[in-house]
Amino acid sequence: MSTESSPGSAKMKAINIRNDTGPAEALFLNESPIPIPKDSQVLVKVKAFGLNRMDLSQRLGNYPVPPQAGNILGVEFSGVVEHVGRGVTGKFKVGEEVFGLTYGGAYAECVAVEAGTLMHKPNGLSWEEAASIPEAWMTATQALRIANFCAGKTIMWHAGASSVSIAGIQLSLAGGATAVYATAGSQDKLDFCVKTLGATDAFNYKEKDFSVEIDRLTNGKGVDIIIDFVGQSYLQKNLNRMAKDGSIIALAAMSGSVAKEIDLSAFVRKRVRLQGSTLRSRDERYQERLCDHFVEVALPSLSNGSFKLCIERVFSWEKIVEAHKLMESNQTKGKIICTI
């Protein structure tokens, strides 16, 4: 595959969306131009890519896509270096096995990615395992940094069986949390959080009020950190169960973004901090620094098996419609991966 040809002259297969937005059935394999990497980029021949909930939102036209993302879905992948930009000399070589994070374009045979968010694939990880790591584990790493997490703190991860929380629960325990709590929507997921991942306790939000349970388990003190993906329906409960000087880190708003009739007194009384964050909207330098931090603090434990990688199911990318429908079902524990 030559990267020296003019844009559009060399083709690859990629997953496109009919009419640009639509349901899962709108996804289809099509021909697209092979991306021509900039001097700071590496062209990777993709072996596997991971699905993320943002892909569903982007497919429906409901996600604010960064300008460098392009119109092909996918932010994480594993593969083989095909071409190295002139400014990347010495860090990567053609033929090396890599995995990484990109702003978009991973649902394709080739993706051009900034060298700073590309990592060498450890020999002990399969293509599928490597592709399951970047978005979830780096998002969890970022959330802990933003929350000023340190040993001795208590933390709760909502959506405990999601890929980010699977990573976050393990990172919290490894970092010395005194208690790690989780919420989920089925007994199977609760057992997974506690028995497989090691969470201190987990609560079925469909059957119990997690704020009441946290109040009981902490003798009214609450937790130091809450990582939330749910949004408005959890905000008051989160506030009720925060410890003094605690932090709520909002990574999504799956129940809605408009919160009504919220008692804000806890912000003042408990000195609570509420901060939102996303990873994809961060600039390239930020993502590179986060990647370096992740390689230092988490990748060794992923490489040697100390941290668990949880893959729900692997599809051929020709089954992308089925893969998206499975993610939409909210029945998964861990990542959905597609192979090329």
| Tens of pLDDT, residues 78-117 | 999 999 999 997 889 999 999 999 999 999 999 999 999 9
Q: In this structure, are residues 117 and 139 in contact, taking their beta carbons and an 8 Å threshold?
A: no
Q: Taking each helix axis from N to C terminus, what angle separates 210-217 and 232-240, rounded to the nearest 10 degrees? A: 20
Which residue from 238, 245, 249 is spatially nearest to 269, judged by alpha carbons? 245
Q: In this structure, are residues 63 and 57 in contact, taking their beta carbons and an 8 Å threshold?
A: yes
pLDDT digits (tens, 9 = 90+) for 212-229: 999 999 999 999 999 999
Rounded mean pLDDT, 234-255: 90
Instruction: Band the pLDDT of 259: cuts 50, 70, 90.
Output: confident
Instruction: Band the pLDDT of 9: cuts 50, 70, 90.
Output: low
Instruction: Band the pLDDT of 64: cuts 50, 70, 90.
Output: confident
Here the tokens at position 186 are 């089925």
pLDDT digits (tens, 9 = 90+) for 272-331: 999 998 899 898 999 999 999 999 999 999 999 999 999 999 999 999 999 999 999 988
Of the CA atoms within 13 Å of residue 94, those in its CB half-sphere come to 8
Query: CB-based contacts of 124: which residues, under 8 Å, 6+ apart?
Result: 303, 304, 305
Domains contained in the chain, CATH given = 11-133+281-339 (3.90.180.10), 137-276 (3.40.50.720)
User: Distance between CA 262 and CA 106 in Å, rounded?
Assistant: 40
Alpha-carbon dihedral sign for residues 138, 258, 56, 281:
negative
CA dihedral angle for residue 162, residue 164, residue 166, residue 168, rounded to 10 degrees = -140
Give me the percent of the chain exceeding a pLDDT of 70: 97
pLDDT digits (tens, 9 = 90+) for 162-198: 999 999 999 999 999 999 999 999 999 999 999 999 9
Rounded mean pLDDT, 240-248: 95
Pairing of strands 41-50, 335-339: antiparallel
Here the tokens at position 224 are 């130091």
CA dihedral angle for residue 61, residue 206, residue 231, residue 308, rounded to 10 degrees = -80
pLDDT digits (tens, 9 = 90+) for 28-41: 999 999 999 999 99
pLDDT of residue 3: 39
For the chain, report the end-to-end CA distance as a whole number of angstroms. Answer: 16
Alpha-carbon dihedral sign for residues 143, 146, 147, 151:
positive
User: Distance between CA 152 and CA 224 in Å, rounded?
Assistant: 10
- What average pLDDT does the structure give for the chain? 93
pLDDT of residue 232: 81
